[in-house]
Amino acid sequence: MTRRALITEAQNTWCPGCGNFAIQHTLKNLLTDRENVGESLDNVVLVSGIGCHAKIADYLNINSVYTLHGRTIPVATGIKLANPHLTVICCVGDGDCYAEGLDHLIFAAKRNIDITVIVHNNRVYGLTTGQYTPTSPLGFRGRSTPAGTAEYPFNPLELMLASGATYIARGYTRKMDPLKDLIRQGIAHHGFSFIDVLQICATFFPAADYYGSRVYELAGHNTTDFEAACHVAREWNYNTDSRIALGLFYKKDAPTFEEAMQPSPVSAREKQEAITALLKSRT
C-alpha cells in the first residue's frame, strides 16, 4: 500500500493557536493508525460545512466533500446510503450545525445513520469575525451583539440525548489523547456518533483559562444509563460556571438507518420501464 502525506500543501489560514489544528492532527493520527493496521483510506470520506473548521477538507489529504452551510449531514447521509461500506466523518461548526443545520443533526440522530459528527464547537462564528452562535454564553459580546447576547445557549448533549443519538461524547482540543480516543470509538460505533468538541477560537473566543479550570474526565460513569447521561450532561449547560465533564456520556446499540431501509424488490430497470410505459401512455 502506498502511503500518502495526510497533511496537504494547501496554505493554512487558521490563526495561530486555533483549536482546529488539534482536531486536524487528531484525525491525521487516527487515519495513520488505520493505515498501520492495513485499512485503506480510500474507504474514508470527510464531509465539511462552511466556516473556519471546514477548511479541514482542504488540509487533510483524504476523499472529501466541502458542502454548503449547515448541509454537511444530509450530504453525508446520502453518501452513506449510496455506499454503506464507506466510513463517513463529518466536520461541522457550532454555527454551521447547531444553527443553519440543526434540523439535519436532529434527524440524523433520530434515524441512527452510521456516520460520525465532530462538532468544532468554538461557540462563535469565527470565519465571519465573531458573531454569537447557539452555544455562545448569555451576554457574549461579539460583532453582532456589542452589548451582549440576550439569549441563553442551548445544551447540544441534552438535545442529542432527546433526539435518540446512540453515541454521545464531549472532548476538548487541549486534551488531544482523550479526544482521539473519543473520535476513534465514535468512528467504530455502529450507528450515529456525535462528539461535541470544545474548541479554542484564539481570536474571538479564547476560553482556554475558562475551560482549563473546569474540565474533568468522566470516571465511573455508566455510559448505558440514559438517566445518568442526562444528569451529567446537565451539570454544565454551556452557560453556568460549574465543572465540565469530558468523555463518553452515552452509548447504546440499535439498528442503523441504512439497515432499516429495505432494498426495493423492484429493480432499477423495472422502474425505468414502468416510468417509460407511463410516459408513453400520456402522449
CA 168 centroid distance within chain: 11
Residue bearing cell 454548503: 68
Q: Say if residues 161 and 226 touch (Cβ distance below 8 Å).
A: yes
Nearer to ligand SF4, 17 or 255 (CB): 17
Least CB distance to ligand SF4 at residue 142 (A): 12
Least CB distance to ligand SF4 at residue 224 (A): 35
Least CB distance to ligand SF4 at residue 208 (A): 12
Applying CB under 6 A, the residues found at the interface with ligand SF4 are: 14-15, 18, 20, 52, 122, 126, 201-204
Cell for 162? 432527546
Nearer to ligand SF4, 91 or 202 (CB): 202
Nearer to ligand SF4, 122 or 163 (CB): 122
Cell for 227? 438517566
Nearer to ligand SF4, 115 or 202 (CB): 202
Least CB distance to ligand SF4 at residue 15 (A): 3
Q: Say if residues 80 and 88 touch (Cβ distance below 8 Å).
A: yes
Nearer to ligand SF4, 124 or 161 (CB): 124
Nearer to ligand SF4, 203 or 237 (CB): 203
Least CB distance to ligand SF4 at residue 42 (A): 29
Torsion on CA atoms 106, 109, 113, 114, rounded to nearest 10: 130
DSSP class of 201: B
Q: What share of the chain is helix, strand, coil (3-state, %, to 5)?
A: 40, 20, 45
Least CB distance to ligand SF4 at residue 84 (A): 33
DSSP class of 53: G
Torsion on CA atoms 61, 64, 68, 70, rounded to nearest 10: -100
DSSP 187-212: HHSSS-EEEEEE--BTTTB--HHHHH
Nearer to ligand SF4, 29 or 203 (CB): 203
Least CB distance to ligand SF4 at residue 129 (A): 7
> What is d(CA 237, CA 164) in angstroms, rounded to the nearest whole number?
19
Distance between start and end Cα atoms, the chain: 56
> What is d(CA 194, CA 46) in angstroms, rounded to the nearest whole number?
15
Least CB distance to ligand SF4 at residue 265 (A): 49
Nearer to ligand SF4, 16 or 265 (CB): 16
Query: CB atoms < 10 A from the CB of 184, how many?
Result: 16
